[in-house]
């Protein structure tokens, strides 16, 4: 019996080491910025997730003026029949604005925090729209049907993904062949943007990470006051 227990313990230890080795091959763990989680991907430290306690910041009255959110939606050129996914939907700020624009389509509001989804569900502004679907994602998957989404929106959230590579593969699987990702991130190249460095991204860094998951940068619509509006498509190769 003792021999069997020893073998089982050895196998469990070996499996743990293999998992750790695989994770370490994709990510590096080391001390970094106080705003980060101590986990690095392709030279970038991953930032802490903004908790649901901060959702009032997402709904601040000055957000339209600071970020030109209406111009962002114009950039997306939404069609009435589009199936759109807002990954990291938060309190639903963009979800509620997109719902009437895709009145014959659908908006998936995806978030890993149930409290965020509950905020959307109970928001009176969301009640008129039957085309909003709430989806509880995880740190490694968006939990969306395969080949189901025309456009994906990620606003100031990608830099917080604790498993960015896995998430991109999950999004890639959910996208239709001609689907597009609209990646909105505060410009890391611009020191005048009043956001913590770990909550910004440069175009070069985003391009590097997305290319590793099989995406190509189609265009950077650099017409927003503080943010990149980078459009990624599936790499034909």
Q: How many domains does the chain have?
A: 1
Number of CB atoms found within 10 A of residue 165's CB: 16
CATH code at position 200: 3.40.50.150
Q: Six-digit token pair at 114?
A: 């149930």
Supply the range of the domain harboring residue 154.
49-234
pLDDT at 6: 36
Three-state DSSP string of 174-198? HEEEEEEEEEEEEECCCCCCCCCHH
Residue 191 lies in a domain: yes
Residue 9 lies in a domain: no
Residue 75 lies in a domain: yes
User: With contact defined as beta carbons under 8 Å apart, do 154 and 182 qualify?
Assistant: yes
Sheet arrangement for strand 28-29: 28-29, 36-41, 44-47
Residue 40 lies in a domain: no
Residue 12 lies in a domain: no
Residue 27 lies in a domain: no
Residue 93 lies in a domain: yes
d(CA 87, CA 190) in angstroms, rounded, equals 25
Phi, psi of 90 (to 5 degrees): 60, -130
Q: What is the full per-residue pLDDT of the chain (237 aa) written as tens digits?
A: 443 333 333 333 333 333 333 344 699 999 999 999 999 999 999 999 999 999 999 999 999 999 999 999 999 999 999 999 999 999 999 999 999 999 999 999 999 999 999 999 999 999 999 999 999 999 999 999 999 999 999 999 999 999 999 999 999 999 999 999 999 999 999 999 999 999 999 999 999 999 999 999 999 999 999 999 999 999 986
């Amino acid at each position: 019996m003792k021999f069997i227990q020893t073998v089982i313990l050895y196998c469990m230890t070996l499996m743990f080491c293999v998992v750790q080795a695989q994770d370490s091959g994709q990510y590096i763990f080391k001390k970094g910025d106080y705003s980060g989680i101590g986990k690095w991907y392709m030279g970038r430290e991953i930032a802490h997730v903004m908790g649901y306690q901060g959702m009032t910041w997402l709904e601040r009255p000055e957000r339209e003026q600071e970020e030109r959110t209406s111009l962002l939606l114009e950039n997306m050129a939404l069609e009435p029949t589009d199936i759109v996914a807002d990954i990291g939907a938060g309190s639903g700020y963009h979800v509620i604005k997109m719902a009437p624009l895709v009145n014959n389509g659908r908006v998936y509001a995806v978030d890993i925090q149930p409290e965020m989804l509950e905020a959307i569900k109970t928001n009176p502004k969301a009640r008129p729209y039957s085309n909003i679907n709430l989806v509880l994602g995880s740190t490694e998957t968006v939990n969306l049907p395969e080949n189901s989404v025309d456009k994906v929106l990620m606003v100031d959230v990608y830099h917080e993904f604790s498993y960015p590579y896995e998430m991109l593969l999950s999004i890639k699987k959910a996208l239709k062949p001609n689907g597009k990702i609209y990646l909105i991130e505060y410009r890391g190249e611009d020191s005048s943007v009043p956001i913590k460095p770990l909550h910004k991204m440069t175009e070069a860094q985003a391009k590097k990470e997305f290319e590793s998951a099989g995406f190509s940068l189609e265009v950077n619509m650099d017409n927003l006051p503080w943010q990149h509006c980078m459009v990624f498509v599936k790499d034909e190769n």
